[in-house]
Amino acid sequence: MRRAGYRRTVRSPQVVPLPGLPDRVTVYEVGARDGLQNEKAIVPVEVKAELVRRLVAAGSRSIELTSFVHPRWVPQLADAEQLLAALGPVGDGILADVRAPVLVPNLRGLERALALGVREVAVFVSATESFARKNLNRTRQEALDMSAEVARDALAAGVAVRGYVSMCFGDPWEGDVDLAPVVDVVRALREQGCHEISLGDTIGVATAGHVVALLDALADAGVPTSALAVHFHDTYGQALSNTLVALQHGITVVDASAGGLGGCPFAQSATGNLATEDLVWMLHGLGIETGLDLPALVETSTWLSEQMGRPSPARAVRALG
């Protein structure tokens, strides 16, 4: 219960910069794809399209729209073609100045994406053998071979390729994950032509020291920090602290999901992504530019939570909504 006379007046963080941080960070929005893919109830395509429109209006300029995966594996994203049709041509209309990748698991998915004029696709590989078999029904090397084929054909078509590496910090079947296999997969994706590679903490077990150790190992292997992004889940409440140390070590692209939605349908222990609003509150408090309108993001996630029929798990949305 609020005390008499209490007024919630803090609507934005006080700006107190820290030395050694970037001036600007790109928030790579995954809510429309990774945020929704784990939802059991099918979200109408009109709601998904409206979510993207609201995110664009809030300043998002990097939005992963959907995945061209077989509907049997992720029924929630079976409407990929319908969603892109509802949004209009990529590179025009509301997506005119928006980086709008789509995830593709194989050559068939790439064909579907190219037919709709996409300008960037994302491929994904696991750092661990167990998750490669559980998620993709392939060995890790077979998954790398497939991503190489997709990247080859995408680049030949003039389409940029982003890479995802899942299970970088822990695996629900294997437990601890060594640095070496993660570095090997990242280097392989670089050789395939991925311009940006997102390091995924799929089950949210990473801690700050582990993040620094992996970034140092990648630097020692010749992978430039400018080619990396981070993708943290908040299972143990570590996503923001992990992000901060990543920023201190040169990362400038951070994946996040509107309202903190998301998980992984193939990893039962994976809970929500780092919430976009929580991330933006921290970044703005550090004086880091994002181009994002925090109140508009909160309004968007409040609207989305109403569509989902449950409150947002994002702390900033609860505080500011």
- Contact present, 164 and 122 (Cβ < 8 Å): yes
For residue 203, what are its two tokens? Answer: 């089950």
> Across-strand partners of 173?
none
Q: To which H or E segment does residue 85 belong?
A: helix 80-87
User: What domains lie within the chain, and their CATH numbers?
Assistant: 26-320 (3.20.20.70)
The single-letter code of the amino acid at 150 is V
254 touches 230 (CB < 8 A): yes
Asked if 132 contacts 125 with a C-beta cutoff of 8 angstroms, the reply is: yes
Prediction pTM value: 0.94
Per-residue pLDDT tens listing for the chain (321 residues): 444 444 455 589 999 999 999 999 999 999 999 999 988 899 999 999 999 999 999 999 999 999 999 888 899 999 999 999 999 999 889 999 999 999 999 999 999 999 999 999 999 999 999 988 887 788 999 999 999 999 999 999 999 999 999 999 999 999 999 999 999 999 999 999 999 999 999 999 999 999 999 999 999 999 999 999 999 999 999 999 999 999 999 999 999 999 999 754 444 444 689 999 999 999 999 999 999 999 999 999 999 999 988 889 899 999 998
Residue type, 197: I
What's the CA gap between 82 and 102, in Å, rounded?
13
pLDDT of residue 266: 41
pLDDT at residue 10, rounded to an integer? 59
Q: What is the set of active-site residues? A: 264
Strand, coil or helix: what is 32?
helix
HSE (CB half, 13 Å, CA atoms) of 320?
Answer: 23
Strands 102-103 and 120-126: parallel
pLDDT at 1: 43
Torsions phi, psi for 268 (to 5 deg):
-60, -25
CA distance 269 to 36: 16
